[in-house]
Amino acid sequence: MLQHLIRQLPSWVEAAIVIAFAFGYSILSSLYLLFSDSTSPPISSTVLVTLLVYEVCVLVMLWGFLTMRGWTFEAIGLRLTVRGVLAGVGLAAGIWVALAILWVPVAMLFPAVHFSAATANLVSKGLPVLLITAVSLLNPVYEEIFVCGYLITAVEKMNGVTTAVNASVAIRLLYHLYQGAPAIAIVPIGLIFAFFYIRSRQLWPIVVAHGINDFASLLANS
């Protein structure tokens, strides 16, 4: 009975449920931190452990819901292959190069933004390497399944590829706004991931690239 009711939901209701549960809390928390007066780094061991527990629970719940709706990992391109891993490494390197190139005009035209990004205190010192590794493995899978693979595929069917890309990038930016000035890098990263996915329909390289970036960033700043 429940599965029958879930299958009858309109596509837009399905998408709203997935995004609300997958990123609603993160978006609200990000906005709260953005306007908060707190000087403590927003990324700490406690926050990361909480994130791991939250993402495991929500991933199991939402993927169960999507399975009843007929979604599969194959439908969003989540296939683990050696070629996909190598493509992810190349994608991560391409993102670093692209950000380095884009950051030059930003630094020249907006020195205050450059200074704010360079001095941002986002990560607590002394994060355990095991915790960094766990987050770098789970978080990219969680985020890319929903904000890239699912969202782009679902919205493209309803409103076309342009709306799908814009929606993916916008939601990705919203839950990273807590970073302040460094969050501007999320837009080109989101666009690169979205266009790569549109062209290849492969999600695993994006997961790998995301994981490499997370690991390198957390390790370098903790």
In which band, very low, low, confident or very high, does the pLDDT at 114 lie, cut at 50, 70 and 90?
low
Compute the half-sphere exposure of residue 198: CA atoms within 13 Å on the CB side of its CA.
Answer: 18
Tokens of 187: 């837009």
Q: Where in the sequence is the domain holding 31, given as residue range(s)?
A: 2-221
Name the helix (H) or strand (E) containing 198.
Answer: helix 186-200
Helix (H, G, I), strand (E, B) or coil at 197: helix
The count of domains in the chain is: 1
In which band, very low, low, confident or very high, does the pLDDT at 121 lie, cut at 50, 70 and 90?
confident
Which pairs count as long-range contacts for 63-69, CB under 8 Å and 24+ apart, including other chains? Answer: 63/145, 65/6, 65/17, 65/18, 66/14, 66/18, 66/150, 68/3, 68/6, 68/7, 69/6, 69/7, 69/9, 69/14
What is the rounded CA–CA span in Å between residue 129 and residue 68? 37
pTM of the predicted protein model: 0.93
Whole-number average pLDDT of the chain: 92
| pLDDT higher than threshold 90 for residue 134 | yes
- 148-163 confidence digits (pLDDT tens): 999 999 999 999 999 9
